[in-house]
Structures are given as C-alpha cells and as structure tokens.
Amino acid sequence: MTYEFLLCERRDKVALLTLNRPDKRNALSIALRNEIDQCLAEIEEEDSISVVVITGAEPSFCAGFDRSEFFSQEPAHLRALLVSTDSFHLRLMNFPKPMVAAINGPAMGGGLDLAVLCDVRVASENAVFSHPEIKFGAPTLFGPLAEIIGGGLARDLCLSGRRIDAQEAHRIDLVSSVVPLDRLLDEAMAVANSIAEAPLVTLKRVKGMIIERYCWRYVSGEDIFAGLQPPGS
C-alpha cells in the first residue's frame, strides 16, 4: 500500500519504514500516526517479514508530535487526535515482531518515545534526544525509558527535558551503537538481518515475553493533551 507520509520498503525479511515529512522534521501528525499504525498492522500479518527498521527522512529522525494540531477544539478533530494517539502507542507497545530504530538525527518528545518503543536502537553521530514536551505540559512516557536506562536516569530525562547527544545516549545504554550518518542505515539493516536469521515463530515468542515482562502503564491520549499549553502562553 502507498502512504502519503510514510515510505515502506520490503527487503527480504526486513521492512524498512521511513517517516517522510522532512519539511516538518517528520513530526507525528494524526495522518502519520495513523499510517504507521496501519502499516504495522499489515506487516504483523505478513509471515515473510520478521523485523521492522524505522528511520526518518533527513535531517531528522522525528521531532515528536505535531503541536500545530493540539489546540483545535473542533470535536471531530479532538476525537481523531485522541484515537490516533492511543492506537499509535498501543500498536508500538504490542507489536509482536522485533523493531530496530535507525536514529538519523534529532529524536524529540514523541520521536524519542518511538525510538524507545523499538527493541534495538542504532544512532548516527548527529543524533540528539530530549523530552521537551514536559515544558509545555505534556507528560512523558517514563516506563519504557526506565526499563532501558534505569529509573534514576529516566527520571532525570523525563522531568528535566534536558537534551543529550549520541555519545551520552550510548554511555547510558539508550542506544546500542553510534556510527557515522552515512553508515547508519547499513548498520541498522545488518542488525535487523542478523535478528531475522532466527525463525519468526521464535522471534515472536521472545517478543511476547518482552511485552509481557514490561507491561507499561499507558497514559491515554486524553490525559496527554489535557495539560498542554498553547504556543506563546
């Protein structure tokens, strides 16, 4: 299927998904969240695909949720905002196949969440990470981050919103490796192909144990947007 804001390429046993809103730094609009949800739902049913790699059209991985959509009070828009938010997060949290994030630039807010909800993260040298949404009233996704880097560091990043570079992300085990940008996709695909050597049934069984072990509490879209402040407020 062809999408407006998402590229999906199948390479043997690996599906490569590229967020494709470069003019908006790949911000997660309602439409893009819905496309990611739909694409992953399709891939979930494809026995020929064992692993998913997610990256962004340069120069960013993902700037987070598209704030321009937050402040309309039109009922249909608000409903679409909440439904797409919940479907997007729950799809990622419960996706039964391994996912690898190829982080080719800034991963901010919901973009950091997207990377964290993948199973393995490979970063380019220019990648940066932050939860700036805490400053304008949106709660951060603490649980999955804490399982990766530990509760103390996760509290620091979630509560402060401070930015870290790729080297610090590697030092705290947020990412598995840091490589030059021109090698990033090759490295991420190599990781994915290595994972895909295992039988799909085994990968899904292990992924199921991961999901069961880390039953994170999800804060609903309604709660996420309740405290947001309009720009300039």
pLDDT for 166-207, tens place per residue? 999 999 999 999 999 999 999 999 999 999 999 999 999 999
Contact by Cβ (8 Å): 54, 91: no
Ramachandran quadrant class, 25 (left: phi over 0; alpha: psi -120 to 50; beta: rest): left
Q: Which fold would CATH assign to domain 6-226?
A: 2-enoyl-CoA Hydratase; Chain A, domain 1 (3.90.226)
pLDDT at 173: 98
Query: What is the mean predicted confidence (pLDDT) over 119-142?
Result: 95
Taking only the tens place, the pLDDT of each residue in 59-118 is 999 999 999 998 778 999 989 999 999 999 999 999 999 999 999 999 999 999 999 999
Residue of 193, 228, 218 whose CA lies nearest to 72: 228
- Mean pLDDT of all residues belonging to the chain: 93
pLDDT score for 151: 96
Query: Which of residues 224 and 213 earns the better pLDDT score?
Result: 213
Report whether pLDDT(226) > 80.
no
Report helix, strand or coil for 11.
strand
Per the CB < 8 A criterion, the answer to whether 204 and 96 are in contact is: yes
How far is 63 from 47, CA to CA, in rounded Å? Answer: 32
For the cut 60, the answer to whether the pLDDT of residue 49 exceeds it is yes
Can you give the pTM of this predicted structure? 0.93
- Specify the pLDDT at position 136: 86
DSSP state for residue 122 in the 8-state scheme: E
And the tokens for 57? Answer: 């059209």
Q: Residue 88: what pLDDT?
A: 96
**C-alpha–C-alpha distance, residues 160 and 170, integer Å:** 19
- For the chain, give the percent of residues with pLDDT over 70: 92
Helix, strand, coil in percent for the chain, rounding step 5: 50, 20, 35
